[in-house]
């Protein structure tokens, strides 16, 4: 990834002008990293194996429900705003051309298994000989110090202890509904890359960013990890309840679900009034410690009320009483949220056929930054363009 001269910029960028990044990523953690950077204005070039490309190109492409114009949901989303170059890094010629691009790039991102970049000769130690200012970022399951353990999102959630505290009971551990280990690593990689760019502005030298999926999941344990170290106890899953607050749970309504969170003490009398729960208005329940003791009775009483009317009915009443509450939406309900729509978090990306596909937008909203979303690239679509623009080199790669 390279930053072009200011005169070539056609839009403002959150990534300190428009940095050029070479993208060696595949599947989810790495492509999510580079998608965010591309959304923020970086020129991201996806380096792909000739003829086959990144594995995500083929995922769901033949599924009529989850594809458009023969392109699956993975590539439609994760490939947006990027460019594609075909290079065989296992060939002498491909490796030579790759290093020529590195010589004028800013960042190289990969999420190969640990040790692969070194075997290919494209690890930081090798690439800094080509470009002393190059920033490299490697995302792996366990970081640069581990080579033996396989790493997929669910496995990392298990290793990190996240699954042991998710679900309703310790006999049935549950993984997160979204691939939080992959996505969390992607977010930390963005933080690391932007920090390294800022550091380079001061030190005039590149750095290597080493992101471990396990590290990032353990970081997300935050205060729960500290509680474990203080007590020596292993926390158990408690479903949608909270260890410190009551009532704090999800409840059935006549047509769905609702959540409430009585976190501050002054929310409790408001809840009593909103739901007309005079039988719970005791001296003991006025304090959090008392409500914790009476959690089961309180939850049962609250549930008995909520089941009588719709979610919308109860949301209106609770909001009028300023009790923290919310629905448990399906995706179709979420994507009708007025604030999401106002903030352009549901975007449409135009495809070559003239059809468009909806997907989540960029959550990083920065003043004076113009958002732009371009379709995911065809395999090798920008090979000639990138070599011409980056190196003033005419090159053609056989893509048949």
H-assigned helices in 232-370: 267-275, 288-293, 295-306, 311-320, 331-334, 338-342
HSE-up of 255 (CA within 13 Å, CB side)? Answer: 10
DSSP 8-class letter at 151:
-
Contact 144, 118 (CB under 8 A): no
Point out the catalytic residue in the list 26, 208, 242, 382: 242
What tokens does 209 get?
């960013």
Going 173 to 176 to 181 to 184, the CA torsion angle's sign is negative
User: Is-contact 95 120, C-beta < 8 A?
Assistant: yes
**Pick from 129, 84, 81: which is nearest to 102 by CA?**
129
Cβ count within 10 A of residue 125: 12
Cβ–Cβ under 8 Å, residues 257 and 327: yes
Residues 67, 79, 363, 386, Cα dihedral to 10°: -150
Q: Tokens 């989303």 belong to which residue?
A: 77
Task: State how far the Cα of 66 lies from the Cα of 27, in Å rounded to an integer.
Answer: 16
> Among this protein's residues, is 26 annotated catalytic?
no
Rounded to whole angstroms, the Cα distance separating 373 from 60 reads 22
Alpha-carbon dihedral of residues 378, 382, 383, 386, nearest 10 degrees?
Answer: -160
Spatial distance between the Cα atoms of 100 and 92, rounded to a whole number of angstroms: 12
* Whole-Å CA distances, 119 to 81, 145, 169, 369, 382: 30, 15, 44, 40, 27
Going by their DSSP bridges, the two strands 71-72 and 67-68 should be labelled as antiparallel
Q: Phi and psi for 109 in degrees, rounded to 5?
A: -120, 135
| Integer Cα distance of 171 and 159 in angstroms | 17
User: Where in the sequence numbering do the catalytic residues fall?
Assistant: 242
């Amino acid at each position: 990834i390279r930053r072009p001269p200011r005169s070539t910029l056609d839009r403002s960028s959150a990534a300190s002008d428009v940095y050029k990044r070479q993208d060696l990523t595949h599947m989810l953690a790495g492509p999510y990293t580079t998608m965010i950077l591309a959304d923020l204005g970086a020129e991201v070039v996806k380096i792909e194996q000739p003829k086959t490309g990144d594995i995500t190109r083929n995922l769901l492409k033949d599924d009529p429900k989850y594809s458009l114009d023969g392109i699956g949901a993975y590539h439609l989303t994760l490939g947006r705003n990027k460019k594609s170059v075909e290079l065989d890094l296992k060939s002498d010629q491909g490796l030579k051309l790759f290093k020529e691009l590195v010589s004028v790039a800013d960042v190289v991102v990969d999420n190969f298994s640990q040790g692969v970049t070194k075997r290919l000769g494209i690890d930081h130690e090798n690439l800094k000989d080509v470009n002393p200012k190059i920033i490299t970022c490697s995302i792996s399951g366990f970081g640069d110090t581990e080579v033996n353990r396989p790493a997929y999102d669910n496995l990392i959630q298990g290793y990190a202890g996240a699954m042991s505290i998710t679900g309703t009971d310790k006999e049935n551990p549950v993984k997160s509904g979204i691939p939080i280990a992959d996505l969390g690593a992607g977010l930390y990689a963005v933080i690391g890359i932007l920090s390294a760019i800022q550091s380079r502005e001061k030190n005039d030298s590149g750095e290597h960013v080493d992101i471990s999926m396990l590290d990032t999941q353990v970081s997300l344990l935050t205060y729960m990890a500290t509680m474990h170290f203080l007590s020596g106890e292993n926390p158990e899953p408690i479903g949608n309840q909270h260890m410190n607050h009551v009532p704090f749970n999800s409840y059935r309504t006549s047509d769905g679900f609702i959540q409430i969170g009585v976190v501050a003490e002054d929310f409790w009398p408001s809840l009593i009034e909103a739901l007309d729960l005079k039988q719970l208005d005791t001296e003991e329940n006025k304090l959090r410690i008392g409500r914790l003791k009476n959690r089961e009775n309180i939850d049962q009483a609250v549930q008995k009320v909520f089941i009588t009317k719709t979610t919308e009915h109860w949301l209106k009443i609770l909001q009028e009483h300023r009790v923290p509450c919310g629905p448990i939406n399906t995706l179709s309900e979420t994507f009708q949220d007025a604030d999401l729509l106002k903030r352009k978090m549901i975007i449409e990306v135009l495809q070559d056929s003239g059809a468009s596909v909806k997907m989540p937008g960029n959550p990083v909203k920065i003043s004076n930054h113009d958002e732009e979303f371009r379709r995911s690239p065809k395999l090798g679509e920008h090979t000639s363009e990138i070599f011409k623009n980056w190196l003033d080199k005419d090159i053609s790669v056989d893509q048949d």
